Structure 1
């Protein structure tokens, strides 16, 4: 029986033959690689009394959803309006969706208004596929969310 696969890198037979390849190419440090972490970045501002804007970036998944939940939950009790700015979210998983729903429910129970500022398809599409658009007050940007 013959192997029809092509040889891999190294010798003609595909083996590395005991040689070591050293890659001297420097890593790409372009703007997209400024933050290579898979974590979540959360920033908050308070443009006026009783209002907090939470800017979220990175991946919102099962590992990072508790971080968002904690960061927003602790602020809900002391404000009247929370705006979640989600344009910098690179990935929104089902656990992230669940966290958004839980935050919305917590805000609703405490009489706090929760709005989302986002135009990114990678965030809006999962919300739409899950049929959750009706749960959220979604705006194109933070100023629009603040002024609605």
Structure 2
């Protein structure tokens, strides 16, 4: 189902591990030059009728402010479509910029992909 973006310094692969769930596997450096690639891939993943988007950032070596902005925009777009957005991130290279920017609480976070696949949005369960 997916495709591979070969633009340096980022690669993004779109998969569908479960029906209604899109998975973006991101690797490399998400900076000013590569963040448009991330932004475009998030928009494409949100284009279908999916209930959940998981962005796997375990392969990210650097996450700059423009990458953070792309993630925040993705979160906003996902919320508008009533799609859960999860970030898979356990590495300092991703968690530290999220914390410093005060964005950590905006996202559903999982340490591993299996955790994200089996997690539920607790906020929606209480509605």
Instruction: Find the structure with the greater CA-based Rg.
Output: 1
- Which of the numbers 89, 92, 98 marks the counterpart of 1:118? 89
Q: Judge conservation of contact 2:8–2:34 (CA < 8 Å) in 1.
A: no
Any stretches of 5+ residues in structure 2 without a counterpart? 1-6, 120-127
Question: Which secondary structure state, in structure 1, belongs to the residue aligned with residue 90 of structure 2?
Answer: coil
Distance 1:97 1:48 in 2: 26
RMSD: 1.1
Q: How big is each residue's C-alpha offset from its partner over 1:99-130, in whole Å with a ceiling of 9 and x where there is no partner? A: 00000000001111100011000110000001
2:18 aligns with 48
Using structure 2 for the length normalisation, give the TM-score.
Answer: 0.85
Are the aligned partners of 1:77 and 1:110 in contact in 2 as well (CA < 8 Å)? no
Q: Which has the higher helix share?
A: 2
Aligned length: 112
* Ranges of 4+ aligned residues in structure 1 off by more than 3 Å: none
More contact order relative to length (CA 8 Å, sep ≥ 6): 2
**1:74 pairs with 2:74:** no
User: Where is the strand percentage greater, Structure 1 or Structure 2?
Assistant: 2
More displaced stretch, 94-103 vs 68-77:
68-77
TM-score normalised to structure 1 length: 0.73
